[in-house]
């Protein structure tokens, strides 16, 4: 996505002080709403993990984490997390959390290989959450129920925000629309995955695209997903593969589909083996995290990440994620944004 400068853009909150107040309001309200909807306990999360354990998130499988040796640990190599997708599951095992309850954490990560634009930064902040489920919960119906709970938390936050900042009028639809990536391909066979998202989200305003990571009938995946956390290969009750997906909202400022969350039911041992084989990554089965999962020492879970700056950007009608968070931006981007009234932190 290239830098987009919306025509006639202005900060509807008036000034930077009001923006900072509104950011805090969104973050405080949403995490309270989320924890109440999903029965989540806040936990403290790491910024670094040891290399070679399998704990770090591989994202699309090509990104390289920021890494460094730890002097006082005999030079053991540590790496900055990409996300907490797998760490959370191990934390639930350590805590002995029962089915139906879970945890969430403030996750801060560095992704230096991101292409910087309106919605991508090298600094990533998420509410990373994970919840223990039963074997009977590993269904598409349960996934949809959880998505609706998260969407309700977003809507409640939007409505409460309107009370404090009446210039931000609620616009989210009552319900979220569900569609599988294969159905989306059949609807728009001549469009790219991003163009398909724009088309369906422009129509429905709030959409959850199911089945991210597995190959579709055209031989391509809708988008990348690592093999060892989301289950994108299990046949669901609607006849399509995948128990995961992305939550997308229509962004009226950027006039495009806007991803605020990636989530899913996590792999069980059989799905992990299958997906590692599909990706040619069978060697990972010997890593600490993967061994624990295959040996039944991990609970079954559902989980995901919800972008903090992304959600604030959407709810506060901002044109650039740099209006929400402090990060690094190319000087020419800073200058172009400044000329358009977009103040990057």
Catalytic residue among 262, 308, 325, 327: 262
Catalytic residue among 35, 57, 130, 261: 57
Active site residue 268: no
For residue 240, how many other CB atoms are within 10 A of its CB? 17
Active site residue 192: no
**Burial environment of residue 135 by CB neighbours within 10 A (0 to 12, 13 to 18, 19 or more):** exposed
Catalytic residue among 35, 121, 126, 256: 126
Catalytic residue among 228, 246, 268, 323: 246
Positive/negative CA dihedral, 74, 75, 77, 79? positive
Active site residue 238: no
Catalytic residue among 31, 58, 111, 230: 111
Catalytic residue among 32, 63, 114, 259: 259
CA distance 322 to 305: 19
Active site residue 323: no
CA distance 249 to 33: 18
Active site residue 126: yes
- How many alpha carbons fall within 13 Å on the CB side of residue 238? 18
Task: Kindly report each contact of residues 25-28 with a partner whose C-beta sits within 8 Å and lies 24 or more positions away, as own/partner.
Answer: 25/160, 25/161, 25/164, 25/165, 26/157, 26/161, 26/311, 26/312, 26/315, 26/316, 27/308, 27/312
Active site residue 259: yes
Task: List the catalytic residues.
Answer: 57, 111, 126, 246, 259, 262
């Amino acid at each position: 996505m290239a830098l987009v400068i919306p025509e006639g853009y202005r900060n509807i909150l008036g000034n930077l002080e009001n923006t900072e107040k509104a950011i805090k309001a969104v973050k405080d309200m949403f995490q309270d709403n989320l924890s109440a909807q999903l029965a989540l306990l806040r936990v403290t999360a790491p910024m670094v993990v040891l290399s070679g354990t399998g704990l770090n998130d591989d994202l699309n499988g090509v990104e390289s984490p920021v890494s460094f040796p730890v002097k006082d640990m005999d030079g053991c190599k540590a790496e900055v997390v990409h996300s907490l997708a797998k760490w959370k599951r191990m934390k639930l095992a350590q805590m002995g959390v029962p089915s139906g309850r879970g945890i969430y954490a403030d996750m801060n990560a560095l992704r230096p290989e991101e292409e910087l634009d309106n919605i991508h930064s090298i600094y990533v902040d998420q509410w990373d959450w994970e919840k223990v489920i039963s074997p009977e919960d590993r269904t598409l119906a349960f996934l949809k129920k959880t998505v609706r709970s998260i969407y309700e938390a977003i809507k409640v936050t939007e409505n409460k925000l309107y009370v404090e900042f009446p210039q931000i009028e609620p616009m989210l639809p009552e319900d979220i629309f569900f569609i599988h990536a294969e159905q989306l391909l059949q609807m728009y066979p001549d469009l790219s995955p991003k163009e398909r998202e724009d088309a369906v989200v422009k129509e429905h305003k709030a959409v959850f695209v199911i089945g991210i990571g597995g190959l579709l009938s055209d031989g391509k995946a809708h988008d990348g997903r690592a093999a060892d956390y989301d289950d994108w290969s299990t046949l669901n009750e609607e006849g399509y593969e995948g128990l995961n997906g992305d939550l997308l909202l229509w962004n009226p400022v950027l006039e495009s589909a806007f991803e605020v969350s990636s989530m899913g039911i996590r792999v069980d041992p059989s799905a992990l083996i299958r997906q590692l084989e599909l990706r040619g990554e069978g060697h990972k089965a010997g890593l600490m995290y993967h061994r624990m999962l295959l040996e039944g020492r991990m609970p079954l879970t559902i989980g995901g990440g919800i972008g903090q700056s992304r959600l604030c950007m959407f709810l506060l009608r901002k044109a650039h994620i740099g209006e929400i968070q402090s990060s690094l931006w190319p000087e020419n981007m800073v200058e172009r944004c400044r000329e358009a009234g977009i103040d990057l932190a």
